[in-house]
Structure 1
Amino acid sequence: MSTAFTFPGQGSQAVGMGRDLADAFAEAREVFGAVDDALDQRLSTIMWEGPEDELTLTANAQPALMAVSMAVMRVMEKGGISLKDKVSYVAGHSLGEYSALCAAGTFTLADTARLLRIRGNAMQAAVPVGEGAMAAIIGLPAEDVEAVCSEAADGAICQIANDNGGGQLVISGNKTAVEKAANLATEKGAKRAMMLPVSAPFHSALMAPAAERMGEALAQVAKKRPEVPVIPNVAVSPITDPEDITARLVEQVTGRVRWRETVEWFGRNEVHTLYEIGSGKVLTGLARRIDRQIHGITVNSPADIEAAMKALA
């Protein structure tokens, strides 16, 4: 059996995130300072003190989540945990894929912070406010959700954005189409269909302008082969070639986050321990619902780090 490190996506942010790490570890403070410098902004102050609505902004939440993940990584590295010696694969949920690649050495910390700031701004700007929407569909098979999206689209955009597992799918696209799809899903027997309080229709074809912008930004950034293979959201198979990684990151902006399939891939390939590196515990909960044979471990506090380092030693 082997181990993978996974990295959380948007929605795992919370005011106060990373403060305990900064108080306890110089390596964490260095990460937060470097991200602040890269963005020319005291992002760490927003992370620790809020206000919450400012932290929740896509352009802030994305680099903030990466910063906490990398603070955990740097502390563990200082404690003697080498990614290439202890971990077989890395993966991240949406923006978490950038955190995974930073942890694996593909991107520098400063470049990752700047890429995520560009990504957040580009995704927000891709669609005028109010024209796009997302909804969570609970308890309806994926093929039925696909059918609902097709029926509701009627020339507009409506597609599955996230397959999170545990019977949870998220749809994204034009607001009227998504609202219609949510109603149809309820009629077809979904346990729940709820509109999400998001600022843009992420992971849909409406994000094409953002995908183009990320292609331009990624072309200008130095990339190294990751120390361990990454499992990209849109492909669900290990990759290490920097150009392949770039292509998958661009595709990810408009493509589906295939998290259920990612966890299932881990299970089929004897990866039975997943350490969730960073803020929150969303991915640990999802892993438990997707495959009961997989052991999920959350690592985001000083005590978590100490326990993880003992287990991995």
Structure 2
Amino acid sequence: MSSTAFTFPGQGSQAVGMGKDLADAFPEARAVFEEVDSALNENFTAIMFEGPEDVLRLTENAQPALMAVSMAVVRVLEAKGVKLADHAAFVAGHSLGEYSALCAAGTFSIGDAARLLRTRGQAMQKAVPVGHGAMAALLGLDLDTARAVAEEAAQGDVCQVANDNAPGQVVVSGTTAAIERALELAKAKGAKRALLLPVSAPFHCALMQPAAEAMQVALADVAMHNPVVPVISNVLAAPITDAIEIRQRLVEQVTGVVRWTESVTWLANEGGVTKLVEAGAGKVLTGLAKRIAPELAAQAINTPADIDAFVASLNA
């Protein structure tokens, strides 16, 4: 049994030019990008490869773009004989990355994943008027303290822990007024830093309920298969394998906490995983893994050279 888990990055890892070197080097990557273009009915890869950055950063674009790069890496690996079912014990993704993980594990087609993420991005953006919601990173506070800060800051507004990314790195989400109160409270409670995040909407909190309802409708219409390897659910921080349950957990995920610290801890302890491979843009999750479970070997693969080195290491 493999002791490797593949992880898939979330929003914030996007950058103009993402995936272009893969498209230039591998026909399998080009095929993924063509499939996404076709599913979204636009020349979407032009936004990924050329920008402009403010257009790529829009939630409705960043989400399918990150999935596309992750799936390009997966398809190139498969073409080189590295199949997920044989080489991964588990897959996990951060927020939208859970869709990439599910796509990699065969639950969704690439086209359906792209359309779902476009819908998800639009629904999340529409759920709250611009300026009415915010997110903030509270650095240097443990999860319980961050939760207490959020509860105290709420004062009748919404203010909740949205992402438990790593020890000492918790993100809160809610109404702008409540998040501004949380920044002050966090500093008073000893946070090293508390800063607003450059996001366009307050993700993973109760304000996203309209988006959760939109995803329930969208997911009901999509063909879903049981994944070929178990997927660690963001809201459970535990593995799931049943397509019907996956559909429900993805709806819950829109308003629920991304339990990333617990997910990686579960992989290292209960899951028996010794190696994490981050497939897709950037290396954010690889950095978080080193803080959550330093004993895990963690690496990011997103360039042709990374892919070649990874395949060579398996054959060594």
Q: Normalising by structure 1, report the TM-score.
A: 0.99
Residue of structure 2 in register with 1:270 after alignment = 272
- What is the CA–CA distance in structure 2 between the aligned matches of 1:169 and 1:195, rounded to whole Å? 12
Residue of structure 1 in register with 2:219 after alignment = 218
Q: What's the CA shift for 1:261? A: 0.5
Residue of structure 1 in register with 2:282 after alignment = 280
| Residue pairs, 1:20-31, within 5 angstroms | 20-31=21-32
> What RMSD in Å do the two structures reach over aligned CA positions?
0.8
Secondary structure at the aligned position of 2:199 is classed as coil
After superposition, the C-alpha distances for 1:68-107 in whole angstroms (9 at most, x for unaligned) are 0000110000110111111100000000000000000000
- What is the CA–CA distance in structure 2 between the aligned matches of 1:248 and 1:309, rounded to whole Å? 33
1:308 partner letter: F
Size of the aligned set, in residue pairs, is 313
- What is the CA–CA distance in structure 2 between the aligned matches of 1:143 and 1:279, rounded to whole Å? 31
Q: Say if 2:107 and 2:227, in contact at 8 Å, map to a contact too.
A: yes
- What is the CA–CA distance in structure 1 between the aligned matches of 2:167 and 2:286, rounded to whole Å? 12
Secondary structure at the aligned position of 2:233 is classed as coil
1:218 partner letter: L
Secondary structure at the aligned position of 2:15 is classed as coil
Q: Say if 2:138 and 2:194, in contact at 8 Å, map to a contact too.
A: yes
Q: Say if 1:86 and 1:312, in contact at 8 Å, map to a contact too.
A: no
2:282 partner letter: G
Secondary structure at the aligned position of 2:232 is classed as coil
2:280 partner letter: G
Secondary structure at the aligned position of 1:261 is classed as helix
Residue of structure 2 in register with 1:306 after alignment = 308
Secondary structure at the aligned position of 1:193 is classed as strand
- What is the CA–CA distance in structure 1 between the aligned matches of 2:150 and 2:112, rounded to whole Å? 36
- What is the CA–CA distance in structure 1 between the aligned matches of 2:151 and 2:282, rounded to whole Å? 34
After superposition, the C-alpha distances for 1:241-297 in whole angstroms (9 at most, x for unaligned) are 001101110000000000000111111032010000000000000000111101111
Which residues of structure 1 form unaligned runs of 5+? none
Residue of structure 1 in register with 2:230 after alignment = 229
Residue of structure 2 in register with 1:121 after alignment = 122
- What is the CA–CA distance in structure 1 between the aligned matches of 2:72 and 2:39, rounded to whole Å? 15
Q: What's the CA shift for 1:310? A: 2.1
Q: Which stretch shifts more, 141-150 or 226-235?
A: 141-150
Q: Say if 2:8 and 2:70, in contact at 8 Å, map to a contact too.
A: yes
Secondary structure at the aligned position of 1:238 is classed as strand
| Residue pairs, 1:183-262, within 5 angstroms | 183-262=184-263
Residue of structure 1 in register with 2:57 after alignment = 56
Q: What's the CA shift for 1:188? A: 0.8
Secondary structure at the aligned position of 1:172 is classed as strand
After superposition, the C-alpha distances for 1:155-182 in whole angstroms (9 at most, x for unaligned) are 1100000000031000000110011011
Q: What's the CA shift for 1:21? A: 0.2
After superposition, the C-alpha distances for 1:115-171 in whole angstroms (9 at most, x for unaligned) are 000000000000011100000000011111111111110111000000000310000
Q: Say if 2:133 and 2:176, in contact at 8 Å, map to a contact too.
A: yes
Deviating 4+ runs (over 6 angstroms): none
Q: Say if 2:142 and 2:167, in contact at 8 Å, map to a contact too.
A: no
Q: Say if 2:10 and 2:95, in contact at 8 Å, map to a contact too.
A: yes
Q: What's the CA shift for 1:236? A: 1.1
- What is the CA–CA distance in structure 2 between the aligned matches of 1:243 and 1:312, rounded to whole Å? 34
Identity %: 63
Residue of structure 2 in register with 1:291 after alignment = 293
